[in-house]
Structure 1
Amino acid sequence: MNTRSASPYEPLPGRVGHVAGIESLTLDGYRHYFGFDHRSDLVVSPLIDDPAAMAAFAAAHLRQSDGPRDRAYWAALVADAVDGSALADDDGEREFTTDGLRTELPEPGGHLLYLLDAATDLDPATDLPADLARACERLDRAGPEDDDFADTVDDCLETVAVHGPLHHPDEWTVARGYLTAAIATLPGNWGLLFTPLAEGLTRIP
């Protein structure tokens, strides 16, 4: 049986053939679907706003543990992704607005940061600006080459959210530096979700 179906969406570079499920989010009230490799915490498709197109993409480029499956199989998983998620317990975590992304920093440890980390091609050890590493040293916190760097980003974001960037410039250097660099390496059309956040970062002193 031929399980591959024509899809108008190109796969993300290097992310073809993953064992994956289907997740979804809404942006300004419009639902977008995407493939997600839960074992690797990795986004494995572009954002796709049409259920049939998502099923066709999955049939062509994704698989289940027992191999490829047909479009009808994936269509059922796409439908399930509307009301359920293996990534977020609360539907509100999967709902975003352009205005909110432009005006609010991501919640430390929240779903938006998780998606960014899962989608980005950033290598923190090599792709972050030097001033960020120096700020981590001054703060005596884990730097980009350390396993606990994600905790540093979360703590810096929380400090900036509570006290503002002007009073904590090193924390702001870390938070803004990481977010800006990560967004710049997003594959496919994931900028649909994160470009407003990048725009908002440029407006904060």
Structure 2
Amino acid sequence: MFDFFKKKKPPAAAAAPIETGPAVPLPLAGRKGHVGAIEAVTLDGTMYFFGFDFSSDLVLSPLIADIDLAARFASQHMTQRDGTHDEAYWRELAGYAVDGSELAAEIESRTFSTESLAAAIASLARVRREGTVEPGFAIEYHLRYLLGAAGGWEVPEEAGDEDADEWIDVISGNEPLAGGTTLTGIADRLQAHLNALVDAAPGNWATKFAVLKA
């Protein structure tokens, strides 16, 4: 009859929160299980890592600013010729991408700034308006290549890149203008090509390099 005087059991201690870390990104366009390596580019002072399949010329991942997260992505979604590997293995490989690259040997080819890209697009717009050469004009080949590889080479044929390097040389004045063409027309075609590259690129490849569109 005196049960109501009994002490109540203390509440159970709350479970300690589980530290999961940032979510591992998904592969681009379902590109899971590809044999590849980790490469890197630098944009506005931040180094971004990404998976790359050399045999297919395909970017496998979004741009990842955390080297450990890039290694985790690779351990879950990429392989080597001898099979899958753990995060520690991929972390070591990612370290090589900090100072080197199998895609572009020169660090300048892997380093970009939004400001300089915006300036290049502004120069291209001037050529489109005025039809005169722009000495020193350039948009790094490696960046255009990576955007194409991220987009799975889905650039429409009419905006293809078979002449993009030649267009840049003509716009900069390094190559003569071919008969029957105009600088305005060539600049328009190059801008259409850049627009198509960005439009085809998935995820943050498109947002990080949206400055190339006009």
TM range (shorter): 0.7 to 0.9
Shift of 1:158: 2.1
Matched, 1:67 2:83: yes
Residues 137-152 of structure 1 correspond to what in structure 2 (within 5 A)? 150-152=161-163
Equivalent residue number for residue 141 of structure 2: 110
Task: Tell me the distance in 2 between the aligned counterparts of 1:52 and 1:109.
Answer: 28
CA contact (8 A) 2:43 2:111 kept: yes
Equivalent residue number for residue 64 of structure 2: 48
In structure 2, give the amino acid aligned to 1:160. I
Deviations 1:99-133 (A, max 9, x none): 01111258467211211221124534xx35xxxx4
Task: Tell me the distance in 2 between the aligned counterparts of 1:28 and 1:109.
Answer: 15
Task: Tell me the distance in 1 between the aligned counterparts of 2:201 and 2:139.
Answer: 20
Matched, 1:153 2:164: yes
Structure of higher CA gyration radius: 2
Shift of 1:191: 2.1
SS for the counterpart of 2:173 is helix
Matched, 1:119 2:150: yes
Equivalent residue number for residue 32 of structure 1: 48
Equivalent residue number for residue 185 of structure 2: 170
Equivalent residue number for residue 22 of structure 1: 38
Give the counterpart of 1:100 among 105, 113, 116.
Answer: 116
Distance 1:69 1:12, change over 3 A: same
Q: How many residues align?
A: 172
Identity of aligned residues (%): 38
Task: Tell me the distance in 2 between the aligned counterparts of 1:11 and 1:176.
Answer: 28
Task: Tell me the distance in 2 between the aligned counterparts of 1:45 and 1:108.
Answer: 23
Deviations 1:71-106 (A, max 9, x none): 000000111110110011111111111101111258
Please give the TM-score of this superposition, normalised by the length of structure 2: 0.73
Deviations 1:4-37 (A, max 9, x none): xx94312211311110001001111111000011
Distance 1:42 1:31, change over 3 A: same
Distance 1:109 1:79, change over 3 A: closer
CA contact (8 A) 1:109 1:154 kept: no
Deviations 1:145-167 (A, max 9, x none): xxxx533122112222339xxx5
Task: Tell me the distance in 2 between the aligned counterparts of 1:32 and 1:122.
Answer: 21
Equivalent residue number for residue 84 of structure 1: 100
Give the counterpart of 2:200 among 160, 172, 185.
Answer: 185
RMSD after superposition? 2.3
Task: Tell me the distance in 2 between the aligned counterparts of 1:109 and 1:151.
Answer: 15
